[in-house]
A and B are shown apart, each in its own frame.
Chain A
């Protein structure tokens, strides 16, 4: 959907910023599913994803009155969701470390695999956070099926470049180059 269309998320958000409460349900309904899906992919746990998505959604709506109509809503909301997921993930990690320190190793579980996977996701998201807004939007559209501002060959080129930059950033940050 075009950002300028009256039913676009941007137009609904602008109405909400103006104090039009009738747009609230529509904004909530349009933001909640993608934020939840995004958090589920990042955290791999339904309950945590629901919590992080809810926190992100509350932050977006709390700042709805300050919304700048020239900005796209979804990349902003996903950036906030990414932040919430990282925060929640770190909090869970700390709690797990404390629990493990208190209870010792439990037999029969493979926490290492899960831990490594989470670390990798976090590292990739950290690298994603250093990219430009256009790259972030392109990669968000690629991995989370979000509508991008461009399509076709332009989008493919952008995606290729964004992936290349993500790879380089990841290598640089983690000394793999």
Chain B
């Protein structure tokens, strides 16, 4: 072994550190997979649910691997994303039938869920004075998790989720922008 070469030894140690982090991150994100499988089982369109779920798993792993601020966005992102996911999956089971035919409540559930998730993320993000990395990670993870359920009505469900999320975030962002900043905690 070339342990005597300091730069090589350092590079090897660094690789071991990164592998260790990656393994731990993948283990940390692993509980997401049963949730994805369960959502796909309940969803009327399992393929997009699987796609968004696997993307959420990949993103969760990456955020945990990076660590620091992005790592702290994983739990809030998943929790916020679970709101539209659960609402959409429940709404998907309910059909409203009238004289013009049947419709589902998926779309309003996605908008309402996105709104609640956006508001939750905004409150948490502004309270902890989070940086861009936290906002980016939490937003992406919320939207991907929510999209697992909101893909039930195709693109319109996703657009509904996105709009709801934006509307949930904007009021607090505006309030934050117009309120003068207080002393740092």
Contact = CB atoms under 8 A, between A and B. Distances in A.
Interface string A57-84: 1110111111000000000000000000
Interface residues of A, number: 23
A57 B13 contact: yes
B4 A58 contact: no
Contact of A65 (B1, B10, B14, B21): B21
A51 interface: yes
Contacts of B68: 18-20
Contacts of B16: 58-59, 61-62
Interface in A1-42: 16, 18-20, 24-25, 28, 32
Nearest to B15: A58
B67 A51 contact: no
B7 to A, nearest CB: 11
Given A59-B16, A61-B16, 11 more contacts: A16-B17, A19-B21, A19-B71, A24-B14, A25-B10, A28-B10, A47-B3, A58-B13, A61-B20, A64-B21, A65-B24
A54 B17 CA distance: 13
B100 to A, nearest CB: 54
B13 A61 contact: yes
B4 A63 contact: no
A19 B66 contact: yes
B12 A58 contact: yes
Interface of B: 1, 3-4, 9-10, 12-14, 16-17, 19-21, 24, 65-68, 71
11 contacts: A18-B71, A24-B17, A28-B10, A54-B1, A54-B12, A57-B13, A58-B16, A62-B19, A65-B20, A65-B21, A65-B24
> Residue among B3, B19, B24 with the most chain A CB within 10 A?
B3
A85 interface: no
Contact of B3 (A51, A61, A63): A51
B1 A51 contact: yes
Contacts of B20: 61-66
Nearest to B28: A65
A20 B12 CA distance: 18
A58 B8 CA distance: 12
